[in-house]
Amino acid sequence: MADGTDESGGPDSDDRPDGGTVVGTPGATSPEEAFARLGNAIRVSVLEALHERQRSGDRSDEAVPYTELRRAVGVDDSGKFGYHLNQLLGEFVEKRPGGYVLLAPGRELVRTIKSGAVATTEGVHSAATDAACFRCGAPVTVTYTSGYVVTCCTECRGALDYDLLPPGALSSIPLPPGAVGDAVETAPRALLDRAHGRFCHRARMFGDGICPRCGGQTTPSIEVCTDHDADTGPCEACSVSMPATVRVTCRVCAEGGISPVACVVSHREPFWDALSVAGVDRAGYDAFATMLGWPMSVRDGDDGAAVAYDLPGRSDAVVVDGDLAIRDGV
């Protein structure tokens, strides 16, 4: 969008007095039009300035007066600033008697910017950790590449064999650059724990039918590899070491992916208790690795395929049915 020349969104208001009423609101309704309004650095700065105010200030006093907002953004020309502010009204910003406030879509956009989700990352960063491979016990490395935190075993063939993954991959978890920062170099083990901890918490929500990203409804299902062979590494047919996984997809935002079955039900008994007995009741890499170390097998369930786990200290298997109901097996 050309700077200051597009008036299609509504009446312009040059030289509006500070704090004056904005005339009309741009009537965009489609996502394309709404996002097109953001193609300007001043507008993005307005959203960030409003977000900063809401983050640090008293929420009852969150409306930012026109002049204060203009100064925060650093634009001297009131007419120019008013024009750009006007373009944000409706979807992203609301005018109230005391000034301007950020609306939920505007807040979400600033969060996306701050997480670095739209920034580019260069190079591949990798570091050794003191964590152990859940397949062979050797030390693992953590790598950040293309927006994914990838854990790799230094000795065995690992558990995943997807395209673009390095050899020995044990897990591959998306995390935005802002959340990773320089942690590969400065705190690789903590990064490993954060990535896997977040993964497990999200998996639990997905398993309960709730999208952790948008709150929409999810429909988890157990997927079984019918030609599974993972004795020496990831299966050639399904590319993972587990004979069955849970696939989740949000019906609203399409967020989702595959997860080890145990992770999806790890907040429920007897899985929660088994983690506690193992001394890993906090979500992190060790909890993830403990769950991946529990022997599992596929069997016929009440409703399609089910997965049976042999949890430590139990004589009977624990069965997770296709609808993720948990029952005792034999």
Residues that bind Zn ion (CB under 5 A): 133, 135-136, 138, 153, 156, 211, 213-214, 216, 225, 228, 235, 237-238, 250, 252-253, 255
Pick 27 or 137: Cβ nearer Zn ion: 137
C-alpha triplet 267, 310, 136: angle, nearest 5°: 95
Smallest separation, CB 41 to Zn ion (Å): 30
Pairwise CA distance, residues 31 & 91, whole Å: 10
Smallest separation, CB 137 to Zn ion (Å): 7
Smallest separation, CB 127 to Zn ion (Å): 17
Pick 8 or 297: Cβ nearer Zn ion: 297
List % helix, strand, coil for the chain (3-state, nearest 5).
30, 25, 45
Pick 12 or 255: Cβ nearer Zn ion: 255
Pick 62 or 255: Cβ nearer Zn ion: 255
Smallest separation, CB 219 to Zn ion (Å): 12
How many CA atoms does the CB half-sphere of 94 hold within 13 Å? 10
Pairwise CA distance, residues 151 & 145, whole Å: 11
The answer to whether residues 209 and 217 touch, using CB atoms and an 8 Å cutoff, is yes
Pairwise CA distance, residues 188 & 303, whole Å: 42
CA 182 vs CA 60, 114, 126, 199, 291: distances in Å? 36, 15, 11, 20, 28
Find all residues with CB under 8 Å of 115, minimum gap 6, and list them.
176, 177, 178, 179
Closest CA to 20 of 100, 90, 75: 100
Pick 67 or 239: Cβ nearer Zn ion: 239
Residues in the chain: 330
The answer to whether residues 174 and 150 touch, using CB atoms and an 8 Å cutoff, is no
Smallest separation, CB 20 to Zn ion (Å): 40
Pick 24 or 216: Cβ nearer Zn ion: 216
Smallest separation, CB 240 to Zn ion (Å): 7
Residue 128, beta-bridge partner list: 141
Pairwise CA distance, residues 44 & 156, whole Å: 47
272 phi/psi in degrees, rounded to 5: -60, -45
Pick 133 or 324: Cβ nearer Zn ion: 133
Smallest separation, CB 157 to Zn ion (Å): 8
Smallest separation, CB 212 to Zn ion (Å): 8
Pairwise CA distance, residues 286 & 289, whole Å: 5
Pick 213 or 314: Cβ nearer Zn ion: 213
